[in-house]
């Protein structure tokens, strides 16, 4: 079971720009509505896209990291 995450004061631009994390959700529309309301953060995202494995929102965080918010088929 996931219990904690360690965060360090270290930034590697190449790592951040090549990092991808997939987060699976049960309802992609609810996730999109939540993401759309995040106006106080330096993020960018695309609308919901249909991919062979499910529906995906591509979201880039403030460090350039890419998150795939996914509702699997």
Which of the pair, 16 or 53, is modelled with greater confidence? 53
Question: What pTM does this model have?
Answer: 0.76
Q: What are the DSSP calls for 2-41, one per residue?
A: -------S---HHHHHT-EEEEE-S-HHHHHHHHHT--SS
Residue 15: the pLDDT is 78
Domains (range + CATH), the chain: 19-72 (3.10.180.10)
């Amino acid at each position: 079971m996931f219990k904690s995450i360690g965060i360090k004061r270290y930034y590697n631009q190449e790592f951040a720009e090549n990092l991808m994390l997939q987060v699976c959700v049960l309802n992609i529309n609810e996730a999109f509505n939540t993401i759309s309301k995040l106006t106080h953060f330096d993020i960018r995202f695309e609308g919901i896209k249909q991919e062979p494995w499910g529906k995906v929102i591509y979201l880039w965080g403030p460090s350039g990291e890419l998150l795939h918010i996914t509702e699997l088929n």
